[in-house]
Amino acid sequence: MKLELIGITKRFGSLVANDSIDLVVEPGQVHSLLGENGAGKSTLMNVLYGLYDPTEGEIRVDDKPVTFRGPGDAMAAGIGMVHQHFMLVPVFTVAENVALGNEAVRGGGMLNLQETRTRIRRISDQYGFDVDPDAVVEDLPVGVQQRVEIIKALVRNAEVLILDEPTAVLTPKETDELLGIMAQLTADGKSIVFISHKLREVKAVSDVITVIRRGKVVGTADPSAPTTELASLMVGRSVSLTLDKKPATPGEVTFRVRDLTVQADNGQRVVDGLSFDVAEGEILAIAGVQGNGQTELTEAIMGLQDHVTGSITLGGNELVGRKVKDVIRAGVGFVPEDRSVEGLVGTFSVAENLILNRYDDAPFARGLSMSPSAVEKNADEKIAEFDVRTQSASAAAGTLSGGNQQKVVMAREFSRPLKLFIASQPTRGVDVGSIEFLHRRIVAERDGGTPVIIVSTELDEVLELADRIAVLYRGRLMGIVPGTVSRDVLGLMMAGMPADEALAQAHDVQGGNL
């Protein structure tokens, strides 16, 4: 099936989210859409999937113009979409999920799940999905859940599959498997629209790359084009993808974690016997697939976790058992992983968010009374210093773009003298331009002699910032390796292999290749 988008324009009020975009997806192709957050990729896909009406332009399927009045029409035309957030009912089985909305029925409206099971098995065997139709979805690993989504689309005879940021939630191994599946699907004549901002994956898998910037197609690129070229196409100016970072000059070890164990409310050990040190003037990155104890580790340091045993010392002072406020007062700066949930109060003004954890300190408050002028002055300074793009200091923080929200959080944390800086997913959902800025600030903080801990699930970020890398797997430390280690080693460690084995195996593989 050949899919064409011709001159698609989508306006929201005065904003042009898509500006006469042309796109042709040939059968058997992987067509990648590359662009920053907010470039208009998702809007375009929502148009294609019938969720939005295009303001102008038309969609053609096999040279015939079509209009989609909803996802149902799009699906009927052979377009399937795998959303970044899976649309699955967790307590249903795979078969039930696949049947939902497309139920095979016997006479009298009885569900015929057997029919669905058969179809799932057929597709599963054809592409080597290895999915059990009777497994309950919530028990499946993320990668398999994603395959269920793909099966859902295939059962409905999708010829064009839209994959929206499909690798964001996968381990490196699962990512490789997905790329394999994509190759099989295209070999079978299906075409795939692949949306991502991860340059490496896009290069690896694409037949054609279309780069979108600010709602416009700014060019198509060959998958063999150098990464820097793609990045500058995406951003619109040359970007230094490699951070200009001096080697670390680690000083005294002031932050120590010993035998740290965190138990979840159900008694499970989500952080299991961690011990590590961070010295002044170095960045320790904590890598791992999301959900392997990173969140709980940072929260334990901040005093946000309840069942913590072991010891965390900063400059000789024990932090375990202290209140959050005491930890902040002890000089710990913290950028939480989800700025909109933990980092900011969306309905508060930018100015208020800039003092969210200092509201009762001088000069912002005297006794119980707060000083609006001091709050305002601080806001003006920080907005200028961090180049926060906001209408005014009194604008609600929730109205800012992700990058600017993150700048507000960072500005707040860097606005007091720090003895330890922790940033969780510091650049998640942040545009490339801001990433550069935020990374430089983090490195500057390190160079100022602060111990820095970065938690990130993005290998690129980890490799760029880290002086040393600790990998967490199921709450346990797989080892700490130098920042110069190869991706393969990190990938193995993230999948649960201890550092020494991973180093040895990666070495073997390289040896074998030679």
Partner 1 sequence: MTPQDDRPVPPATDGGAPLTRRQAKDTARQDEVRLENAVETAGGELPPPAVPAPAGTAAAPESTLLQRIMTGNALVAFLSVVLSLILGGLLIALTDPNVARASSYFFGRPQDTLGAAWTAASGAYSALFQGSVFNVRGESFSQRIYPLTQTLTVATPLICAGLGVALAFRAGLFNIGAQGQILIGATFAGWVGFTLHLPAGIHLLLVILAGMVGGAVWAGLVGLLKARTGAHEVILTIMFNYIATNLVLYFLSTPAFQRPGSTNPISPQLDATALYPPLLGSAFRLHWGFVVAVLATVFVWWLLNRSTVGFELRAVGANASAARTAGVNVSRGYILAMAIAGALAGLAGVAQVSGTEKVLTSGVAASFGFDAITVALLGRSSPWGTFAAGILFGAFRAGGVAMQASTGTSIDIVLVVQSLIVLFIAAPPLVRALFRLPAPGAPRAGKGGTTTRTPASTGAAA
Residues 356-395 that bind partner 1 (CB under 8 A): 356-357, 359-360, 365, 368-370, 372, 389-391, 395
> Would you give the distance in Å from CA 357 to the centre of its chain?
26
Beta pairing, strands 253-263 & 307-314: antiparallel
Closer residue to partner 1 in complex, CB, 144/279: 144
Closer residue to partner 1 in complex, CB, 100/208: 100
125 binds partner 1 (CB under 8 A): no
189 neighbors 2 (Cβ within 8 angstroms):
no
Helices within 214-312 (DSSP H only): 227-235, 294-302
The site map against partner 1 for 80-119 (x = CB under 8 A) is xxxxxxxxxxx---------xxx-----------------
| Sequence letter at residue 423 | A
Please tell me the count of residues contacting partner 1 according to CB under 8 A.
117
Closer residue to partner 1 in complex, CB, 210/282: 210
Q: Which helix (H) or strand (E) holds 421?
A: strand 420-424
CA distance 282 to 466: 8
The answer for residues whose C-beta is within 8 angstroms of residue 176's C-beta and 6 or more apart is none
259 binds partner 1 (CB under 8 A): no
| Sequence letter at residue 51 | L
Q: Is 41 left (phi over 0), alpha (psi -120 to 50) or beta?
A: alpha
Looking at 202-210, 247-255, 309-317, 334-342, which segment touches partner 1 (CB under 8 A)? 334-342
Q: Which helix (H) or strand (E) holds 328?
A: helix 324-329
Written as six digits, the tokens of 2 are: 């050949």
The interface with partner 1 within residues 448-467 (CB under 8 A) comprises 457
The site map against partner 1 for 290-329 (x = CB under 8 A) is xxxx-xx-----x-x------------------xxx-xxx
The interface with partner 1 within residues 388-447 (CB under 8 A) comprises 389-391, 395, 399-404, 425, 428-431, 433
153 binds partner 1 (CB under 8 A): yes
| Sequence letter at residue 256 | R
Question: According to CB under 8 A, which one of 138, 188, 380, 500 is a site residue for partner 1?
Answer: 138
Sign of CA dihedral 144, 149, 152, 155: negative
336 binds partner 1 (CB under 8 A): yes
172 binds partner 1 (CB under 8 A): no
Q: What is the CA radius of gyration of the chain?
A: 25
Closer residue to partner 1 in complex, CB, 289/420: 289
338 binds partner 1 (CB under 8 A): yes
Question: According to CB under 8 A, which one of 269, 307, 419, 487 is a site residue for partner 1?
Answer: 269
Please report how close the Cβ of residue 11 comes to partner 1 at its closest, in angstroms. 4
